[in-house]
Structure 1
């Protein structure tokens, strides 16, 4: 009888163990499939990280669609990029290439917030025009809407209009955040200061950049309401606090600062499967013999115009290095008349830059310092020589120089001597040590996988729990800064002071009277 009970207990224990093992080893249920909309502006540099996030989400089985605006010459490549990454192509507004060229010209060689102001105003007028709204769509049918920062106004307006609060913002320039989130002096957008500012820098940062930025943030909503975007917050920069925000960088390339619970540094976001190198370039790279010198990658992006003087300086580097040069066809006229050894210099109108930078022979990148190119270089442990032309490129160049991740030359400073000196300086071990560290930080941040995880998380549980109190309860200026409380406390302190003064005066008078009375009696 005892044996039977013992065997019975063993059987129960074994069956429970098997059940627990099955439960533990059973795969997690996947996230429900989402319908996701991506919204972008006509800046290619803003579009690529957004499409990279969409590609990762599409690879997980989600239905991803994309719409926005592109320049006419980028439309074909834009469609191919979306299709190859499993993203649906919706109606897109086409802008004439001359519009982008005009924007580029307005910001050329001007890295200050004042230089950007007229260009941004022009861009917003275009972006909020009636023409753009012809391609707008009813967003109520999407489970989630994600926009890059330049399309933030449209994201806010559409989500408000169609009552769809499941939104996310992708931020490339992290300084585009409300000033009031920082409790200490913090370098504002495009301010050429480090986070350890002198008195004069703090004065300029507050008296010039903060005030100008605040005026612009108030002016933008007025302009956008005038052009049809009725549902806008009164402060343009405050849009980042209304929904989860992905920052396309890491602390280490960005200044340390306080962030809200819904703001996430996910690091650079790249396509899960970037395009391969062209076979002709692979053959060129793998040649043996004399042509095995280290490779320098040169790319000035879609905004910079290379001069003949600069082209000559680049070609002069081929005496010690091999050059892979991405130079768009409209700018290749600067090569005419130059002596180019094709075994040492490979010129192409388009380059899969991130794939190229992964190659073991690449030792340096010379870039116009757009954020995507900088991220691709540093991710692959390649120091950067910046030649900034405008907009945020000066800001990126300043940070690279400050963190000793690269050096920078202004376009008019580039010649054979300055270029060679900068390239030689970048061979110092300190630059390679620092780019190795930032590469580790980039990879630890998670990139597109972390970004996609956060989209799935917030789509499942919502994000209201992470909204700060001043957003959730719609605090005003007075409540946010506790001004009414400080006024009351100030009045109480003042009344206490007045009361103490009167009490002291009364005590002193009483004491004087007593002394006089004693003196009178003694006399």
Structure 2
């Protein structure tokens, strides 16, 4: 009776809380049911490159999800990163190989890329210099790996069911083909229009902006014109593998890998494509059924902070904390760049946690904690965190979206500009240009985001949309990998476009026939018109002579 009486006077907010808790329980129960359907453990191989930044984090997040779902995961990694992988997850089986690529070389490219961006290097010269340099490192590591017969024999004898191939470098695709194991492709960014051509995805230059431009899906006439031209120019470059991947094309032929098809068609053999996209952040676009959106692989509920961070957070009062991270890019930051932010943070009311790998400026204000490492996801999930200032790397943007923290973007290179454009277009943050960066610009951006409630409201709304999923992005990726293994193949998800050559795919043969028919029709019309003119001339001219 007491329980009934208490229930009858339950407040509305209590009922709402019960409904919310019930919804969460049902969602995670459904996820557990899905996980429980996995009976037989699969055998999965993850091939890592020489990099140790965001590309590694996202790939390993999928491995973590597979392990949590009872799968066997082997990580093929160079000996320099082996201990890092073992310490991350003891359940991974680590397969090592030697490589002539050193960590110092990778760090040097990252530092030089940042230095070029800060020095005002043009995007195309600075970023593509970095791509060329990293491509050289990826090629050397891939060559070294393929030459190690003992390693190749061990992974071939392991009888893997599926390979997770990050498309940030081509080597995992070559390894999968070399050991004759199907693979799934992981795109470490939004789906670029250029690669969409290769993977036979629908492309419309009217509302699909090219990669690395920082344009939105609402393009001006000039942008649509340039988008169309870029799309057309990408056709020959991405179908001509010696132009796009000259080193890896040589490796493919040298080791007799898929000699019957081009490198691009070899990459197109992926069973599925995982793309770092989600409608809460990315622009809506049509994709094929074999393309799965898994944006935000590193997002997850926050864990309690260690004491030094928690004490600092609690000392921030009502103003809260500003989290400032620039990923691995700060390794190449100069003192002038760091001083800009030190001066800016002295003018904001928030406490600031600043991830900086180098030495802090001498005049670092007292409200700033400088640290070489920080638990970014856990800090973003803390209720005291009010704003995130970053270079707009995709992992950080999705983590901020997950935890509903507005963003100030300072893009440097690569897909940073594309992520910043999406942050702005969704109304969840602002962008500050790197060129001509000043302390005043940083302070103004922080004030704009903090004082305009629309940014907070927008990101809370989109965060709720983003989190309204049965499975996390990493577990969604793991589920689809298990799906491939369970069914042996997912050819039913692939369109017939994969069986068409370049001319057929772009209807060039049809266009040629239509143009020929049109030319013949014009010729016939011309002949008929010419004949009629002659007849008319004979009739009228003959009648005139007769009258005369």
TM-score (norm 1): 0.81
Preserved CA contact (<8 Å) 2:163 2:183: yes
Could you say which residue in structure 1 is the equivalent of 2:164?
A: 146
Aligned residue runs from structure 1 range 264-275, under 5 A: 264-270=292-298
Equivalent positions of 1:356-395 (< 5 A) are 356-395=379-418
Q: Distance in 2 between matches of 1:296 and 1:242?
A: 41
Counterpart of 1:491 (choices 502, 516, 528) is 516
Match of 2:178 in 1: 161
In structure 2, the residue matched to 1:310 is 340
Match of 1:57 among 63, 66, 87: 66
| CA separation of 1:121 and 1:58: change in aligned 2, threshold 3 A | same
Task: Measure, in 1, the Cα distance between the counterparts of 2:539 and 2:433.
Answer: 83
Deviations 1:335-392 (A, max 9, x none): 3x33643xx4333321111111111111101112221111111111111112233333
Please say which of residues 364-373 and 489-498 is displaced more in the overlay: 489-498
1:492-511 aligned at under 5 Å gives the runs: 492-507=517-532, 509-510=534-535
Q: Tell me the distance in 1 between the aligned counterparts of 2:477 and 2:311.
A: 36
Q: Which residue of 2 aligns with 1:449?
A: 475
Partners in 2 of 1:88 and 1:210 — Cα distance?
44
Quote how far apart the aligned CAs of 1:508 are: 5.4
In 2: Cα distance, 1:273 partner to 1:229 partner: 46
Two-structure CA RMSD over aligned residues (Å): 3.3
1:421-436 equivalences in 2 (<5 Å) = 421-427=444-450, 428-436=452-460
Check the 8 A contact 1:66/1:88 in 2, yes or no. yes
Q: Which of the residues 239, 247, 270 maps onto 2:267?
A: 239
Alignment CA distance shift 1:37-1:126 (3 Å): same
* Count of residue correspondences: 482
Deviates more, 1:458-467 or 1:129-138: 129-138
How many Å apart are 1:251 and its aligned residue?
Answer: 2.9
Q: TM-score, normalised by structure 2?
A: 0.78
User: Match of 1:46?
Assistant: 55
Please state how far the C-alpha of 1:401 moved relative to its aligned partner. 2.6
Task: Decide whether the 8 Å contact of 1:53 with 1:269 is kept in 2.
Answer: yes
Q: What is the CA distance between 1:209 and its match in structure 2?
A: 7.9
Instruction: Find the counterpart in structure 1 of residue 209 from structure 2.
Output: 187
**What is the aligned partner in structure 1 of residue 188 from structure 2?**
171
1:12-411 pair list within 5 angstroms: 29-41=37-49, 42-69=51-78, 72=80, 76-83=83-90, 86-93=91-98, 95-108=101-114, 109=117, 112-129=123-140, 130-133=143-146, 134=148, 138-139=155-156, 141-151=159-169, 153-175=170-192, 177-179=195-197, 181-185=202-206, 186-207=208-229, 211=233, 215=237, 218=241, 219-227=243-251, 230=254, 231=257, 234=262, 236=264, 239=267, 242-270=270-298, 276-287=304-315, 291-304=317-330, 305=333, 307=335, 308-317=338-347, 320-328=349-357, 331=358, 333-335=359-361, 337-338=362-363, 340-341=365-366, 344-411=367-434
Q: Assess, with a 3 A threshold, how the Cα gap between structure 1 residues 518 and 284 changes in structure 2: closer, same or farther.
A: closer
Would the aligned equivalents of 1:38 and 1:65 in 2 still touch at CA under 8 Å? yes
Q: Secondary structure at the match of 2:245?
A: helix
Structure 1: stretches of 5+ with no match in the other structure: 1-24
Match of 1:426, SS state, is helix
